[in-house]
């Protein structure tokens, strides 16, 4: 039911809330067009979250779907509960707010956004199970969970009679810690899908910041302060970017499409990918990345090159 690539919708926050300050505010008309392009290109699901503008992204997404003549059930919508400063009980007490923000479109996947807060794994999964029994949500996922946290959540939810279906993690060619810390191995063992967010490393893997390093200083948010965008960081990834550009020419695609396609195939069918899009060209690139498959030798080459230029932690 899911296309290999979905659309991440953090950038639909329209400048609202904590998350919205990271992106330039997009008018609803632009959001409508990005969603239209994504739909035409074969994308069938969309990932948003409570903290993305405190509901603004959710509402903007549904508004765009309706503008494109979509009805509830035509696409898959994933959203997330924000745990920081809350107990697990708020998963239940805030679900009506999520429904309202989504204009009562079904919540096909409800995720615990991160494993940090006053809540426990047991409390979170029991609350999610309650929502499943009530029919408020259709599937349960988590985000930013380690291998150990993933196993624990899976076991608790299984004891409640339900299956944990996904773990959404930061995962790209220069931030591959899910490959190295056992998270993806655990997901494969348990039959849980990995949803890769930030798959282009905040745009680094498109090569545009290597071509013109100065443009990072004009970008909103904290991205300009990340080590991977520093002079030394860009130098460390030169060989990888050169390989992406060379392969892009061979496959008649863009370097970004190569980077996205590698994520789709390196771990078999385990990984789904959710790039964002602030321009129509971004949405078009996302869709084209599903239309080819990298040769196994190219997959291996990118694997080897990427191991030489890893950036640790969420902030790279």
Per-residue pLDDT reduced to its tens digit, 230-282 = 899 999 999 999 999 999 999 999 999 999 999 999 999 999 999 999 999 99
CATH number at residue 87: 3.20.20.100
Low-confidence ranges of the chain (pLDDT < 50): 315-316
HSE at residue 239, side-chain half, CA atoms within 13 A, is 11
In this predicted structure, what is the pLDDT of residue 47?
A: 98
Domain-located, residue 225? no
Domains in the chain, number: 1
* C-alpha dihedral (59, 60, 62, 67), degrees to nearest 10: 140
Is 304 domain-assigned?
no
| pLDDT attached to residue 141 | 98
* Dihedral angle computed from the Cα positions of residues 144, 25, 40 and 251, in that order, rounded to the nearest 10 degrees: -70
Q: Answer yes or no: is 184 within a domain.
A: yes
* 45 close to 79: Cβ distance less than 8 angstroms: no
220 found inside a domain: no
Query: Is 187 part of any domain?
Result: yes
H helices of the chain, in order, are 17-20, 28-40, 56-67, 90-93, 95-101, 121-134, 147-159, 177-180, 183-190, 208-211, 231-236, 238-251, 255-266, 280-288, 296-307
At 18 the pLDDT is 66
User: How many other C-beta atoms lie within 10 A of the C-beta of residue 85?
Assistant: 10
Establish if 307 belongs to a structural domain. Answer: no
Q: Is residue 216 part of a domain?
A: no
The burial class, CB within 10 Å (0-12 / 13-18 / 19+), for 120 is middle
Q: Please list the active-site residues.
A: 52
Domain of 102, in residue numbers: 7-206+252-294
Nearest to 207 by CA among 153, 146, 258: 258
Structural domain contains residue 26: yes
């Amino acid at each position: 039911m899911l296309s290999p690539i979905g659309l991440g919708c953090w950038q639909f926050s329209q400048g609202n809330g904590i998350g919205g300050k990271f992106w330039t505010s997009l008018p609803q008309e632009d959001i409508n067009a990005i969603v239209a392009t994504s739909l035409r290109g074969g994308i069938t699901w969309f990932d948003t979250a409570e903290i993305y503008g405190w509901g603004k992204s959710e509402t903007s997404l549904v508004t765009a779907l309706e503008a494109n003549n979509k009805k509830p059930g035509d696409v898959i919508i994933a959203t997330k509960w924000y745990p920081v400063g809350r107990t697990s009980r708020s998963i239940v007490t805030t679900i009506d707010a999520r429904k309202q923000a989504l204009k009562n479109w079904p919540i096909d996947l409800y995720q615990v956004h991160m494993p940090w807060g006053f809540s426990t794994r047991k409390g979170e999964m029991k609350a999610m199970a309650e929502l499943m029994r009530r029919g408020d949500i259709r599937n349960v996922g988590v985000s930013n969970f380690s291998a150990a946290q993933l196993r624990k959540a899976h076991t608790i939810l299984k004891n409640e009679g339900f299956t944990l279906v996904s773990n959404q993690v930061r995962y790209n060619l220069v931030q591959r810690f899910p490959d190295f810390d056992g998270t993806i191995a655990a997901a494969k063992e348990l039959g849980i899908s990995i949803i890769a967010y930030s798959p282009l490393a905040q745009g680094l893997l498109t090569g545009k910041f290597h071509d013109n390093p100065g443009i990072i200083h004009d970008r909103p948010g904290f991205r300009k302060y990340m080590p991977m965008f520093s002079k030394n960081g860009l130098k460390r990834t030169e060989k990888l970017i050169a390989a992406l550009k060379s392969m892009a020419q061979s496959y008649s695609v863009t370097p970004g499409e190569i980077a996205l396609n590698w994520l789709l195939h390196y771990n078999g069918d385990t990984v789904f990918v959710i790039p964002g899009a602030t321009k129509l060209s971004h949405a078009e690139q996302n869709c084209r990345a599903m239309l080819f498959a990298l040769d196994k030798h190219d997959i291996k080459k990118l694997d080897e090159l990427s191991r030489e230029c890893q950036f640790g932690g969420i902030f790279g």
